[in-house]
Amino acid sequence: MERGNFIVESAKKGPIYAFGEENNARNYNICMTNLYLHDIFNKRIKEENGEKFQLVDLAIANPPFVSSMREDVTTNHRLGELYFSYAISKSGSSYVKYLAKMLENVHEKGRVAILMPHGFLFKRNKIEYEVRKKLIEKNYIDAIIGLPEKLFYHTKIPVVLLLIDKAKKQNEILFMDASREFASNRKINYLAKENQEKIVKIYQTKESLENYSYLAKIKEIRKKDYDLTIKKYVQIHPKIERIDERETIKKIQKLEEENNYVKKQIRELMEKIQKL
């Protein structure tokens, strides 16, 4: 749950009935204060205690990208069973554990949206490979969207938005390279309105667009050994601009004339200086 910022932003779109869970007391208190300051009262946020969490329609998260989380699964049997079902060991990365929790907390027709590092898409270690494979074979992954770098204050690296739909019927995954969709205000990049609209449009239409998106069949992904690297599906071909030879020659001639004029002016100025 972290500090409740996702709930605050979601509430701007309309009334929500929010649930959340946080195992860090400090973050929990900050979250509750944040919601109170924004007049969000229709919430059911609680500190994580190992009990079964109420199933929801949608789970969203921006998890920390650290190698592992400190959790005692020996005392929290629910977590232990959950991680075991996804072949996640104690050494599993934090974002993979977050993903497993989110999948458990949405109902059979629920959806998940989570920010992930690019490494999750191709890492060969057994844990992340098996999680990817399971998600693909269950036909849960709806889309993978590559986002620009410096989009978040806590990390400058580019990340991906993983969209999961447990009720998805089409045996396809949409890959989108939106890494060039951004505006900048010096220190950080952001998605301008036109950037957001383009991403949403391609996601809704599932259109394969040259240099931007590709709708891949599950059988195609199997052939790539469950590698979800965006560049393996969305090929970026740089635009080749045709050169107008006549126009180029005219520009060169004009530059030479300007150069000769400047040289002439310098010579005349030097001659005047020498006569002084």
Tell me: the pLDDT tens digits for 95-140? 898 899 889 889 999 999 999 999 999 987 888 999 999 999 999 9
Helix (H, G, I), strand (E, B) or coil at 270: helix
Say how many CA atoms lie within 13 Å of 144 toward its Cβ. Answer: 28
pLDDT number for residue 203 = 96
pLDDT number for residue 161 = 97
Domain boundaries in the chain? 1-49, 62-232, 243-276
The residue among 217 and 11 whose pLDDT is bigger is 217
pLDDT number for residue 120 = 94
Over range 151-163, report the average pLDDT: 86
In which band, very low, low, confident or very high, does the pLDDT at 225 lie, cut at 50, 70 and 90?
A: very high
pLDDT number for residue 88 = 85
Only one residue has tokens 């049997």, namely 77
Which is nearest to 31 in space by CA: 7, 9, 53, 54?
7
- DSSP conformational letter for 155: B
Task: Give the residues across from 189 on adjacent strands.
Answer: 184
Element (H, E) at 263: helix 245-275
Over range 159-185, report the average pLDDT: 94
pLDDT number for residue 243 = 76
Q: Domain 62-232 adopts which CATH fold?
A: Rossmann fold (3.40.50)
Distance between CA 6 and CA 3 in Å, rounded? 8
Percent of all residues in the chain with a pLDDT value above 70, rounded to a whole number: 87
Distance between CA 118 and CA 228 in Å, rounded? 9
